[in-house]
Amino acid sequence: MTTGIAPACRDALARWLDHMRALDGAAENTIAAYTTDLRDFIAFMTEHRGGPQGLGALAQITVSDMRAWLARTRADGIGPRSVARKLSAVKSFYRWLAEREGFEPTAVLSARSPKYTRKLPRPIATDAVNDVLETVRDGARNDWVGARDVAVLTLLYGCGLRISEALGLTCAALPLDNALRVSGKGGKERIVPVLAAAREAINAYAALCPFAATPGRALFVGARGGPLSPRIVQKSLANARMQLGLPATATPHALRHSFATHLLSAGGDLRAIQELLGHASLSTTQAYTGVDAARLMEVYDAAHPRAGRKSG
């Protein structure tokens, strides 16, 4: 919807989205969400302020206007987490726009985000992971599909990959070595070690896959040879989950949580796990693995360059 958006404002929004794609490496689903958030925001301001919102009007938005928008958003039944995401998108756009148009964005940037508790999937027990993999293999319509789904899930659990990272791999990764280069959020690359079980699962799938493994082809493919959809993997795991009586929290993403949690419980270093997961912040890894604050401070104290030093 572009109603109430002046051409100059529409062009600015398009340029900002291009900026997010090019410099920040935002994924297309993120770009789509940002587009909707900003258009809804501008549409509200058009109604609230009684006129089309060009660049000049946007620069004059007040604290009161922001409170009215947040109140309407919450009144529409949108949850705190979604409201926080919308506000984050609006603030990001305003920071960018203010630098180019030379206005003061404090009224927008000072708006407070609602507090919410981030819900994370519960880790899956080790024996349950093995049961899931066996059930997924046995429930597939043919051997190569079963091997494919097991290989994907093994990468999530054995290497801590996001499902988008696993499905983003190409056949150039073959033959799999002891380490794998992964492109994560924002296009940031990291190196993750590959366990023997993951190599075996990938090799088994590659040997059975009926489609030629050309370097540029997606490693994991669907029934017609195109890139595998994450929905197929989610459905495969959901079927196994139902057969095994596992909770609805047993999702592909929960396997990544399980990787981190099980590694930590086995004595893994929290900072090393942070690097393996591709988290920008150690606090994210803390929440991911359920680490308490005391353990987190131990890691900070051990890693901080001034740790253990006495002031002269």
Clarify whether 162 is annotated catalytic. Answer: yes
Clarify whether 185 is annotated catalytic. Answer: yes
| β 179-183/189-193 pair status | antiparallel
What b/e sequence results for 78-113 when a residue is b if at least 16 CB atoms lie within 10 Å of its CB, and e otherwise? beeebbebbbebbbbbbebbbeeeebebebbeebee
Q: Which of 256, 257, 304, 306 is catalytic?
A: 256
Closest by CA position to 287, among listed 211, 277, 62: 277
Clarify whether 253 is annotated catalytic. Answer: yes
**Greatest C-alpha distance within the chain:** 70
- Crossing angle of helices 80-101 and 28-49, in 10° steps, is 80
Q: Which of 86, 148, 162, 257 is catalytic?
A: 162
Q: Which of 185, 190, 217, 271 is catalytic?
A: 185
Closest by CA position to 111, among listed 176, 65, 163, 175: 65
DSSP H or E run through 118: none
Q: Which of 86, 199, 257, 279 is catalytic?
A: 279
Q: How far apart are alpha carbons 203 and 220 in whole angstroms?
A: 12
Q: How many CB atoms lie within 10 A of CB 13?
A: 19
Q: Which of 21, 85, 253, 262 is catalytic?
A: 253
Clarify whether 288 is annotated catalytic. Answer: yes
Q: Which positions are catalytic?
A: 162, 185, 253, 256, 279, 288
